[in-house]
């Protein structure tokens, strides 16, 4: 059957339902909360990175796993699933720009220079990262973290007398460090674009955390003025934001936490309460649709353009190709990277 952009949405939905029925239990569909509402409604499991990592690792029955999200998440499923299982991503070019802000050569260079100072460092990579960086952590005694467990991860490192070398999201690292009582003076920011050939090895003797200069363009778009405006417009409104937002925004908000934290906080709040939410707008719209007893508004309409590359039509194409046995690119990860990235992911699942 043909599919192109002119295929009516109603037909696409019907064909998705038909393909899903035929594939039965041999197929599992995982979707991130930031996917568009139609894909979220079609998925077997919807979650944030941590939840989806756990769910992917628990799938035993399905032979095919379709992961609707950006590419590093599909890679993570590939790493955690059994080799007999096939993992598909409807749009392999949907990459997270934050994940692309740290590349292995730069991280290895930083690691070499920073460890040469004699400080005991432990690498902690945010889940929004390429598989080779996760593998780097696996090889060097470190692990992966998500926004839901970044604090536990940093506490773990400090409890072992080490300094977290955290990459690639500076804001998540800084907000987490602040929540643990670590001040900006105690943080060293590694800038991968800075040429340190003149200044030499940095002085990190008194530092309690090393961060990487990387950011999420969706979450840094929120401004303190958005919070002031929401309070002016709606009076007694609760402001809840994601920790990839800048520290000034997190500092002004009433609550800050991962996507799953935002979801559970809003869902369990009393009917009639008002919420301005500072995270990706597709997720906010889903939450709004599912909680009609509350006033829910986006703090600002910020969409992840990269997540939106996965469309309902591309999702349908993957399903029909699986059904027809047509060759299509599976998600693959270099076996050596996969082995060590799995070590880093399993360490995360064990400590959180
Ligand atoms: S919202 Fe930000 S961190 Fe998440 S996938 Fe999009 S760009 Fe990456």
238 Cα–ligand 1 center, Å? 24
In order of start, what are the domains of the chain with their CATH numbers?
9-95+307-333 (3.40.50.10800), 99-216 (3.40.50.10800), 219-298 (3.40.50.10800)
Which of ligand 1's atoms lies nearest the C-alpha of 34? 1
CB 171 within 8 A of CB 215: yes
Q: Are 265 and 229 in contact (CB under 8 A)?
A: no
| Radius of gyration for the chain, computed over Cα atoms and rounded to the nearest angstrom | 21
| Residue 137 confidence (pLDDT) | 98
Q: What are 313-352's pLDDT values in tens digits?
A: 999 999 999 999 886 779 999 999 999 999 999 899 887 6
pLDDT of residue 350: 84
Q: Rounded distance, CA 224 to CA 251, Å? A: 9
Distance 96 CA to ligand 1 centre (A): 5
User: For 256-271, how does the pLDDT look when each residue is reduced to its tens digit (9 = 90+)?
Assistant: 999 999 999 999 999 9
Q: How far apart are the CA of 69 and the centre of ligand 1, in A?
A: 10
The atom of ligand 1 lying closest to the CA of 70 is 5
Contact between residue 278 and residue 252 where contact means Cβ atoms under 8 Å apart: no
Q: Is 304 in the pocket of ligand 1 (CB under 6 A)?
A: yes
Q: What pLDDT does residue 291 have?
A: 97
Contact at 8 Å (CB) between 147 and 259? yes
CA of 53 to the centre of ligand 1 (A): 16
Half-sphere exposure of 304 (CA within 13 A, CB side): 26
Ligand 1 midpoint to CA 138 (Å): 23
Structure-token pair, residue 167: 């990459």
**Ligand 1 atom nearest to CA at 304:** 6
CA 314/CA 229 separation, integer angstroms: 38
Tokens of 251: 């500092």
Alpha helices in 200-311 (DSSP H): 224-234, 247-252, 259-267, 281-290
Indicate if ligand 1 lies below 6 Å from the C-beta of 96.
Answer: yes
Write down the pLDDT at residue 8.
82
| Residue 261: per-residue pLDDT | 95
- The protein residue whose alpha carbon is closest to atom 3 in ligand 1 is 216
Q: Which amino acid residue places its CA nearest to atom 8 of ligand 1?
A: 96
Cα–Cα distance for residue pair 230/222, rounded to 1 Å: 12
**Given this model, what pLDDT does residue 197 score?**
67
Which ligand 1 atom is the nearest neighbour of the CA of 219?
A: 2
User: Which residues, given as ranges, of the chain have pLDDT below 50?
Assistant: none
Q: Cβ(306) to ligand 1 under 6 A?
A: yes
Residue nearest to atom 1 of ligand 1 (CA): 304
């Amino acid at each position: 059957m043909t599919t192109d952009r002119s295929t009516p949405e109603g037909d696409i939905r019907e064909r998705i339902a038909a393909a899903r029925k035929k594939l039965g239990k041999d197929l599992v569909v995982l979707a991130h909360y930031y996917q568009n509402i139609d894909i979220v409604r079609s998925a077997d499991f919807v979650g944030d990175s941590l939840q989806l990592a756990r769910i992917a690792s628990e799938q035993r029955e399905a032979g095919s796993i379709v992961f609707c999200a950006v590419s590093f998440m599909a890679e993570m499923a590939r790493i955690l699933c059994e080799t007999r299982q096939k993992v598909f991503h409807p749009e392999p070019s949907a990459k997270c720009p934050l994940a692309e802000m740290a590349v292995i050569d730069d991280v290895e260079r930083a690691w070499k220079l920073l460890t040469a100072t004699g400080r005991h460092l432990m690498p902690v990579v945010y889940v929004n990262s390429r598989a080779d960086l996760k593998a780097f952590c696996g090889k060097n005694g470190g692990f992966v973290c998500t926004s839901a467990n970044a604090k536990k991860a940093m506490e773990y490192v400090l409890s072992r007398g080490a300094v977290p070398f955290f990459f690639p999201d500076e804001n998540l690292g800084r907000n987490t460090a602040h929540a643990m009582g670590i001040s900006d003076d105690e943080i060293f920011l590694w800038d991968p674009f800075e040429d340190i050939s003149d200044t030499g090895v940095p002085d990190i003797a008194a530092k309690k955390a090393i961060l990487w200069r990387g950011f999420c363009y969706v979450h840094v778009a929120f401004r303190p003025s958005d919070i002031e405006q929401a309070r002016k417009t709606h009076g007694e409104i609760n402001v809840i934001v994601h920790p990839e937002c800048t520290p000034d925004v997190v500092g002004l908000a009433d609550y800050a936490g991962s996507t799953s934290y935002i979801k559970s906080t809003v869902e369990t709040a009393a009917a009639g309460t008002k919420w301005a939410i500072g995270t990706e707008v597709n997720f906010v719209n889903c939450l709004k649709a599912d909680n009609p007893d509350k006033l829910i508004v986006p703090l600002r309409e910020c969409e992840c353009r990269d997540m939106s590359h996965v469309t309902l039509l591309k999702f349908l194409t993957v399903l029909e190709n699986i059904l027809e046995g047509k060759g299509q690119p599976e998600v693959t990860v270099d076996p050596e990277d996969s082995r060590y990235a799995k070590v880093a992911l399993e360490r995360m699942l064990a400590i959180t």
